[in-house]
Structures are given as C-alpha cells and as structure tokens.
Chains A and B, each alone.
Chain A
Amino acid sequence: MPDDHRLRIGREIFLAAFGLALDSVDPWVLDRMTSILDEQEFRAGQTLFAAGEPVEFLYFMQDGRVRFTRADGLSWTLRGRWVLGSFEAIGDRASAHTATALSDFRGMRVSGAAWVEMLEDSFPIARSAVVNASRATTRLEERVPTGDLVAPDVAPLLSTVPPGTLSLVDRLALLLDVRMLRFGGVQALADLAAVSQQVSFAPGESIVERGVSQDHLVRIVDGEALAEREDPAVVRRVGPGELVCGSAILGRVADAWRARCVTPIRGISFPISALFDLMEEHFDLVRSMLAALSGRRQQLLEHLAATTPDLEIT
C-alpha cells in the first residue's frame, strides 16, 4: 500500500483527535485538509517561527509544550493540544513572538496560504474557525478578572459622531470602526448597515442577560456598559467602538455573561445571522474577524504573562 494512503489515514485520525467530526464535513473538505497537512517531528529547542518574521505555517500540536517569547523577555508556554500560528498566518502579519518547542512532540503543519484558501472555499469551516476563535478568546478573557486592556489605536472614520439619529452613512462608518469588521470591505458593511438598527438603553438596563440566547450584536456608539460573569468572576468595561460581549456571543459561550448599562447608551444593533450570511459572501469579513480576534488574544496572553510568572496554559 502506498505510503500516501497510510499518511492520509494518520492525518484523518489526527484531525479527529483535534475535535473535527469527520462525518460532519464534506468529503472534499476532508480530502483537501488531509492533502495540505504535513507531518512534523519537533525537537526540544526547535524554533517554529521567529519574532519579526512572517508566519508561513500553522502548526497543530497534539501533546507538547511551546514557549512564546517576546524581545523584552515577556513569555508564556502553551501545553497540550493547540493550533499555533493560525492567527498570524491568517492575519498575514509578522509574529510578535518567537515560538520555541520545549519538548519533543509530533504534530502537523499546513501552509497559511493553503489554510486560508480552504477557509475561503468552505464556508462551514470558516464559520467554525470564527466561532472557535471567538470561544478561545473568551476563555482567555475569563482568565483576566478585571482591568482595561487598552486596544491598539484605530483611527476612527468619523472624527465626531453626530448626535441624535444616525444616518445610514454614519452607521456604515461606525461599523467600519469596529476592529473585527474594519477590513471586511465597504460592500459587506454597507449591507450590514442596511439591516442594522439604532438602539438606546437607559442606565441599569441589560443589554445581555445571563442564560438568554443572543441573536444580535450591539456596537456602542456613546456610553458605557459593564459586562460581568461569575465563576470565574470577570468584569469588563465596554465603551464606544466595542461590541458588547462580542467574542462570547459569537463563540456561543455568552450564557454566563451579563452586560448592564452604566450610563445612557446609544448603539447600533445587527443580527448575527446577517453577519454570518455576509461572511459567506465576503471572505474579507472572515479574515477581518479572525485577525481582530488574534490581536485580542495576543493582548490577553501578554497581559497574563506580565502578571503571572512562568505562565503555562493548557
């Protein structure tokens, strides 16, 4: 039997072990995935990717330990089952960290370009990627109890937001200012703006209720909300330009969260189903969201690493 048949079987098992339900994906998707994967043996001390260099490959680590180190010494370790480099590869950005294996392990790698191409061709996989990335980011958020992690500066399209009722152009510009949507394209966001509504909340009013399924996302225009959860206890201030519990709602793990208005809030609300429909047509929206989630994830990891020496996350 040719080696490539055995390799393929091994790769299918590997993907199953990573949580991919093999019978739920189209056969051609599985064919493509197994053809773009490459087995890799990693040795302790081996560099997977270096800071400042573009990340060409994604790495699937089954059971190993990899340390991420920044030039200023900030570092953390990931242990167990992780996908490494995906956010950098998809976001087409240079890595801010050097990733070094701390132990020998076997894994797979796939070229970033091939992975992105597969996401573009299979919307169910792209959708899963967004949902899983949102969920992973939310789980990291839950490790940071409080504190305002300052977001990278994004020059707003509207230097001053007009008072009162927002026009469609205003809503379009305001949606473009959301980090997750910024690079989704004007066409896509024009369609999203067309189905969005301006909403307002009084102080104390709930935007997100615990245990209640959310089918809309709210972008704060003015005002401030407090998002919190228990066990673990986490508190977040959500202000202008941000989505209220955005990653938790997209990752379908918002049940434990609650968001209340601290001040009067003016916002823009849009259906999540419309967002996913638009993602299917405009792949740039998928990339934009994954890149933004990557940035947030990086921020959280760096914050955790700064506050927890020898941070190791499983």
Chain B
Amino acid sequence: MPGLLPLFADVRRGEWRAIAPAFATLLLLITAHTALETVRDALVLTRLPARDLGIVYVAVALCALPAVGAASRAAARFGARSALGGGLVTAAALLVALFAAPMNRATAVAVYVTTGLISSVLVPLYWNLLASILDVAQARRLLGIVGSAGIVGALLGSTAAAAFLNVVHTRSLLLVLSSTLLLTAIGLAWIPGADHGGPGTSSDALPTRESVTDVRDEPFLRRIAILVLVATTASVFVDYFFKWTVSRVVPHHDIARFVARYYVGLNVLSLVAQLFATGALVRRMGLAAAVVVTPMLMLLGVAGTFLGVGTLTAALALKTVDGTLRNSVHRVTVELLYLPVPASVRARVKPFIDGVIARTTQAAAGLVLLALAGANWLSSWLLAGIVGAAILVWLAVAATMRGPYLEFLRHAVTGNAGRPPSLDLDLESAERLVELLAHPDTLVVVGAMSVLARRGRERLIPALVLLHEEEAVLVRALGMFGESSRDDWGGRARGLLADSREPVRTAAARALAMHGRLDAKDLAFDADPRLHAYAALRLSLATSEANPMEDPVILELLARPGPSGDHARLGLLASIADSKAEERLVDLLAALASEAGTSREWTEGLAKAAASQQANALIPQLVSRLASPDTRDAVNAALVSLGPPGLDEVWGTLLDPSRDRELRVHLPSTIARFGSKAAADLLLQCIETEHDGLVRYKAIRGLDRLTAEQRVTVDRVRAERLALANLVEHFRLLMLRAPFAVSPSDDGPTRSTTRVLLVGLLDDKLRQSLERTFRLLKVAHPRDDIHRVHVASQSRDSRARANAAEFLDALLRRRDQGALRQLLLVVADDLSLAERAARGGALLRTAAPMTQEAAIARMTEDGDMALSALASLHAATVAGRPARVALGGGRGGSPVELSTEGAASEPEPSHA
C-alpha cells in the first residue's frame, strides 16, 4: 500500500504523524454521520408527507445558527480541537436521548436536525482544525488523501447502516452511532499541531461586525460566500428533488432499504472520485478551474433530468452526480480556497460562511419549497427547472472565481505595495515649499526648488532667490530659470555675471544665453577663459551670419595651447550646447570633437552639444564613451535624444564582438533608456543570441526596467521561453551541486580550497540563474510583483513559500506555460537540495549525477569555462596531480590560465 500512495498523494517524511490521526478522526466522524443520514432519511421519509419535507431544512437552519455561534465561540476560547471534542460528546448525548424518546414525527425531525448539526458544526470544526496544522502546499498534497477518509467513512457508514437495518430496528442504530461519536472524540487526542484562534482570541460566528466586514470588504471572501450560497441552494433543491421523487415512486415499506443501498453505491462512486479525480483535477487544472467541475457536470446531469422528468432514474442520476462530486471534488476545492486566507481571518469567516450563510440559505430554500408545496405548484418539471436555474447560477459564480482568487494570492504574496501618489501640489503644500526657500539650510532650499520643479511649479520660485548668498542655490535657480519660459529674473541674473565665483557667472551666462538675453560683450573681458570663449561664440553668432569657423577669434581659441586653450574649447562646447540647432555650428562642433579630451567635462559637453545640435555624426564617439561610469548618464541622455540613429549605432556596436567588453556590457542599459518597443525587441533579441553572460544579464535588467517604467509590452511567449531556459539551466546546476551537499572529509588545504571555490561558484550560479528566471518572468508579467514572489518562494517561512507556489500555479495556467509552472513549483516547494534536484531531473528527464566524482566529471566537460576550469583543477588536486587550465573572463575577454602550482605562463609581477 505505501508503494501505491505516491500515485495518489505526495506525503513527505514526518507528515504521517499528522495525517494518520486526522484520517482516522474524519473516517469515524463521517461513518457516523453517513449512517445517521441513512437513519434520518428512513425516518423522515416514512413519517413526513412529501409536501412537508421542506420543514426539515428550516428546522436544521434554525437550530444550526445558534449552534454554529456557540461552536465558534468555543473554538475561539478553547481551540478547535477542544470545541470539536465537546461537540462530539454533545452529539453523542443527543443521540442517546433521541433513542430513549418515543419515535414520532417530531423525533424524526430531531434526528434530521441532529444530523444537520453534525455536518454544519462538527465537520467545519474538523476542517478548521486541519487547516491550522497544514499550510497551503501541504493542503494541496494531502487534503485529497485526508478527504478520502470522508468518502471511505461515508461508504462504511452507509454499508454498515444498510447491513444493520436488515437485522435491527432503525432506532437502535442511534446508540451505535452515539458510541462511534464518543470514539471519535477520544481519537482527537492524537492529532498534533497548532490550534490557531486559541484561548484569548475572541471571535463569533454569528453576524458580528468583524466577520461581516471581512466578507463585505474582501472581494475574494465575498466570492467564496456567494459560491457557498449558490452551491448550498442547488444542493438543497437537488436533495429535495431526490427525496420528493423517492417518496412518490418507491413503495413506503421499501424506502429505508432503498435509501441505504443507494447511499452505499453513491459513496463508492465518491470514493473513486476522491482517490482518482480530485487530486489530479487540482494539479492539472489548477484550483480556480477545478471549482467549476462540479457545477458543470451537474448541469449535464440536469440536462439528462429534463429528458426523463418525473422518473426515478432521472432524479437518481442527478443526485448521483451531486453526491459523487459534492463530498469529493467540491468539498476539497472549497476547503483549498480558504487556505491562503490568514488563520485569524479564516477562524472568523469560515464558521460565518459555512454556518450562518449556508444554513440561512438552506432555511430560505426550505421555505420556498414549503411555500410551493403549500400552493400545490410542485411538479417534476418545476423542480427540474428550479434545480437547473440554481446550477446555472452556481456555474457562473464558479467560472468567475479565478480573478478574485489570483488577486487575493497576489496580495498575500506581494503585500500592499501600491503606486506612489501623483505629483499634485495643493495650496498649503505650495506655501510650505515657498517658505522653505528661506530656510537656513542650503540643502533644504535646493530641495524645495527641486520639489517644485518636479511638479512643474518653477514659477512659484521667486526671482528674488537670486539674491541668495549660497553658490549651490544660485546655480540651481539659474539652471531652472534658463530652462523656463519666464523672464522676470533677467535683471538679477545679469548682476550675477560679475559674481566672484566662476560657477555662478557660468550659470548666469548660460541661463541668459538660453533666453537669447546674453549680451556677449558683458563677458568679453571675463578673465575666465571658459566664459570668455563662451561669450566669444555668442558674439560671433549674433554679429554675423557667417560660419564661426571663419571668425579669427574662434580659430584662435581652437588653436590655443595649454590648459587655457582646453578651458576655452570647453567654453565653446558649452556655448554650442546652449544654442539652438544651426547648420553653421556643425563644422565647429566637428573640430572640437576631433580634439576632445576624455575628461568628464569634455564628455558631458560633447553629449549636450550633440543633443542640442542633433549631431548624428558624433554618435559613434558618444557610444565609445559609454564605458566611463561618471558620464554615462549624460551620454545616454544625448543618444536617446538623437533617436533611431542613436539606437542603431548602439545596437550595431553591441553586435560587434570585436569591441571592448568593458563597453559592450553597458550597451543594453543604454538601449533600455530609449524606452520604446523597438528597444525592447532588441533587448529580447540580445538575450536570445548573446554569448557573453554579463551582457545577457544587463539586457535582462534593462528589459525589466523598460517594461516596468515605460510600460512597454513584450512578447510574453518569448520572455517565458527565456525564463524557462534559465530555469532549466538552474536545475542543471542544481543536479551538479546536489552531490556536494554532504561535507566531505578534508584531506588537505589545497583540496579544501578548490572544493570551496567550486561549490561557491555553483552556489553563485544557482542564485543567478534563478534570479534571471524570475526577472524574465516579471518581463512577461509586468503587472505582478514577481520580485516579491521570488523572495517568498525562497523564504524560510513555509507558508510564504506555499503562497508563492499557489500564486505561480494560478498565474501560469496556459498550456504553453506547463513546463515553466511545474519547474517553478519545485523551486518553491519545501524540499532538500537533493530532493529538489531529483524532482527537477525527473521533470526534465535528465539523470542527475549521484556522486561527487560523477558531478565533477560532468563539470569538466561543461560549456561554462569557469566551471569546467575549476572542476578540472579540483579533480587534479583531489588526484594529487598538477593541472593547467584556461579560464576566460579576463579584461578584454582573453583567457587567463589557472594552475595548481605557480605557473611560468603567468605574467611577471609588476611594480605599481
């Protein structure tokens, strides 16, 4: 039997201790309940006329409401286990009392009510107890097997009842069942685990403000409540239809035996469904889709009913579908829906939904049936029609569960990360910011200006700020005024042309120049060569239509030697950057570019000038300067402003393997800055075709940022294909890593060193491959916070991991996502490294190396140069022989040699 179990359930080590007693408890409980159902139906159908059958539903509902409330309070105060134990003892006592009482119509209804109380109070308490000891992932694996205890119990109960009814009176069964319930109460002691909502927590299953608020405010809980409501309604109508038909068709004296045998058959079918269908449906279709199965099949049953309306066969067929699926597929899927709900909320809400809502619905449905019967409107056709309508509504609700379920899981995994507020500004805030412009702290003043600028409210910055003493404030303000369209600051800015600080004079000159208000003569005699050259070009452009390259002053500045000449040329460059695009500046810009230095100022100046003049000719030079980190932002901005020619050049450079690696690794980020669909497609292509791992990684990061910030959509299938490729690589590495999970004996420092390095490298690559997988998944699903799902899937908290797994399972339901989904579920599962490697290997149909030697042998043949080199080195040191291998990744991409000894091929040490 244990060998067969993996076919039905994935039970891990240590879990038997919990589920074996849980299985036994449910078995006994349902055995007693099902036998009692047989007794109650036999009693009710023989003592109540068909038209009065609705009374039992109302009676159950009226008694269940206060009973559920009391049970809920008891569970909150004493824990689910104690509450369940108390309930079982109470039910046993009730049955004994009913045995002792004379059997009449009232007693029959009381038996019906007692049976109803067991199913509406004790069974939900049991599931609550079970939910407190299993997390979502365990529940998905184990609820099927535990739930089968219910089916087996139902089968046993109905079989036992059928057998007993042949030899004893119906009432005598009440005593037997009372003992069974007492035995169940004793068995509870063996169930381990946490009782959430234990002593000290107050909750109430009657419509309290909290539980009602929970259901009202949370869309997913609201949807569960509606699902339970419509499912209960359909169930009541189906059950009534069945009982109504049986009482009219089956001879009175045969009813008890008929019902007993029918339930035996029904429970056999339920058991088969539970064992073979439930788990498989949930695994294959996902939970949200599995919820639809029951109402869909029942709709088929209803269609069959219409074909044979009024016949016992039609009613039995419909009841059979309902009975088979309700206690197997439907029960398990609804319980699974609750599991991502936090335990404290679940403890409040579940009794409310399963108790109050379900019972109220039953009562309402019962009243409707009573009214119809009282008005003599009941007929087979009408009942079939009511049943059909109820099931249609049920199907509609079930079919729309996925959205709220996914949203709930999304929230459970990723939390409340909302969008940042917009950059609006109200009067009060604006006043506060203007006040801050007078703050003694320069940083605060500059900050206030920046805050206003970010919100497009530069006009609120008074020109009087140019009277400030601090250089940082003046430079920032002049920069903002220069880029604005306001003109109230010009006079004060002109005064700053004579400021003793060069940065202030420069900022003033540039701001005035941008508004065409710089009288270059003001700076013609400025001692600073930069400002002097700046002004000279402005003057040249203002006084003549000729090309500045024909102006002797400009030519002199171009040719001037030394640091003064360098500053002057930077001044010319700044002047070009601040000018509108003009044809006559092209030659001068080209001349400056040909002699451009590599300093930060030169690069930033070239970038700004190229942007302002739209000088495509400078694109190659700009691209070549992307290797420098200090100026990369400025160069990126310029390239983006140059549009498609800039993008083409960057892409062309990336495709050229002869270019320096130092440059190529930064090009994907530049491509991402273009923020367009074309850029996204190029990055995707880069990831698909690039050989350099670092460049590929940068492309993934760039694409990630592009889709997140620019909301560019990317081909989901391509992105997921790449994610899958990285995930397959992850498992390949995992299979190589697994044999090293056990610490070896350490025979020497060298062996230890190479082993530490090799295992460390494998661990790094494992982390990287998984990170890349999730980044690509995020590109495919930009709306979801996949990063948090990644973090949760690697968390030490098993519930967080389980929620992450459930979310991924619900998210990736398309056919083409199957492989990705299955592998990701293994990643998120609570498994040891070796188990995870084994499961991954089974899914990929790849045999994992079982020993370290086998893993090393495989690694030495690996396509990854670093891995194969270190593996070869480790193998050599283990064997005690010298080795010399090549390792790539040196500056410029050329391989560097590794050896187990100081190698003659290593370059001679240098003197710094």
Contacts and interface: CB of A to CB of B under 8 A. Distances in A.
Interface of A: 1-2, 4-6, 8-9, 12-13, 15-19, 21-23, 27-28, 30-32, 34-35, 117, 157-160, 162, 164-170, 172-173, 185-188, 190-191, 194-195, 197-201, 205, 207, 216, 218, 266, 269, 273-274, 276-277, 281-282, 284
Contact of B697 (A22, A168, A281): A281
A207 B912 CA distance: 7
Given A167-B901, A190-B866, 19 more contacts: A2-B421, A5-B424, A6-B429, A21-B450, A23-B454, A34-B420, A117-B787, A165-B908, A168-B897, A168-B899, A173-B757, A194-B887, A197-B907, A197-B910, A198-B910, A199-B910, A201-B912, A281-B694, A282-B764
14 contacts: A6-B428, A13-B448, A162-B902, A165-B902, A165-B903, A165-B906, A166-B902, A167-B898, A186-B760, A190-B889, A194-B887, A194-B891, A273-B629, A284-B764
B898 A169 contact: yes
Most chain-B Cβ atoms within 10 A of its Cβ — which of A9, A23, A167, A185?
A: A9
Which 8 A-B residue pairs are closest in the complex by CB-CB distance?
Answer: A16-B447, A186-B760, A1-B426, A22-B450, A187-B764, A198-B909, A31-B420, A186-B761
Contacts of A191: 889
Interface string B862-882: 000010001001000000000
Contact of B453 (A19, A23, A266): A23
A42 B604 CA distance: 44
Contacts of A1: 424, 426, 428-429
Most A CB atoms within 10 A — which of B420, B428, B708, B900? B420
Given A2-B421, A13-B436, A158-B753, A168 B896 contact: yes
B111 interface: no
B709 interface: yes
Nearest to A267: B912
A67 B897 CA distance: 53
A166 B899 CA distance: 10
Contacts of B891: 194-195, 274
Given A22-B447, A187-B761, A167 B887 contact: no
A216 B912 contact: yes
Nearest to A127: B629
B910 A168 contact: no
B902 A167 contact: yes
A215 to B, nearest CB: 11
B201 interface: no
Given A274-B891, A276-B629, A173 B753 contact: yes
Contacts of B454: 12, 22-23, 27, 30
B783 interface: no
B561 interface: no
Contact of A169 (B754, B889, B910): B754
Contacts of A273: 629
B447 A9 contact: no
A17 B445 CA distance: 9
B603 to A, nearest CB: 15
B906 A167 contact: yes
Contacts of A201: 911-912
B438 interface: no
B251 interface: no
Interface in B271-324: none
Contacts of A190: 757, 761, 866, 870, 887, 889
A191 B870 CA distance: 13
A4 B757 contact: no
A108 B453 CA distance: 24
Interface in B117-142: none
B433 interface: yes
Nearest to A274: B891
A16 B709 contact: no
Contact of B444 (A13, A30, A164, A188): A13
Contacts of A12: 447, 450-451, 454
Contacts of A165: 902-903, 906, 908-909
B765 interface: yes
A277 to B, nearest CB: 7
B756 A157 contact: yes
Interface of B: 417-418, 420-422, 424-426, 428-429, 432-433, 436, 441, 443-444, 446-448, 450-451, 453-454, 629, 662, 665, 694, 697-698, 708-709, 749, 753-754, 756-757, 760-761, 763-765, 768, 787, 866, 870, 873, 887, 889-891, 896-903, 906-912
Contacts of A194: 887, 889-891, 896
Contacts of A13: 433, 436, 444, 447-448, 451
B225 to A, nearest CB: 31
A28 B448 contact: no
Q: Main secondary structure on chain B at its contact with chain A?
A: helix
A197 B909 contact: yes
Contact of B890 (A35, A195, A199, A277): A195
Contacts of A274: 891
Contact of B902 (A164, A195, A266): A164
B900 A16 contact: no
A198 B441 CA distance: 48
Contact of B899 (A18, A31, A167, A185): A167
Contacts of A186: 757, 760-761, 763-764
Nearest to B890: A194
B833 to A, nearest CB: 18
A269 B787 CA distance: 36
A200 to B, nearest CB: 5
A199 B911 contact: yes
A125 to B, nearest CB: 13
B429 A277 contact: no
A157 B753 contact: yes
Contacts of B662: 277
B765 A187 contact: yes
Contacts of B899: 167-169
A8 B896 contact: no
Contacts of A188: 764
Nearest to A28: B709
Contacts of B890: 194-195
A166 B906 CA distance: 8
A255 to B, nearest CB: 17
A8 B451 CA distance: 10
B892 to A, nearest CB: 9
B911 A200 contact: yes
A19 B902 CA distance: 49
B760 A8 contact: no
Contacts of B756: 157
B686 to A, nearest CB: 16
A269 B891 CA distance: 14
Nearest to A15: B447
A1 B423 CA distance: 11
A276 B662 CA distance: 12
A120 to B, nearest CB: 9
A19 B446 CA distance: 10
B764 A5 contact: no
Contacts of A281: 694, 697-698
A16 B450 contact: yes
Contacts of B424: 1, 5
B761 A9 contact: no
Contacts of B763: 185-186
Given A1-B424, A13-B444, A169 B902 contact: no
A162 B709 CA distance: 51
B368 to A, nearest CB: 47
A274 B890 CA distance: 11
B271 to A, nearest CB: 47
B429 A172 contact: no
Nearest to B748: A159
A8 B629 CA distance: 30
Nearest to A163: B902
A235 B768 CA distance: 42
Nearest to A276: B629
B443 A167 contact: no
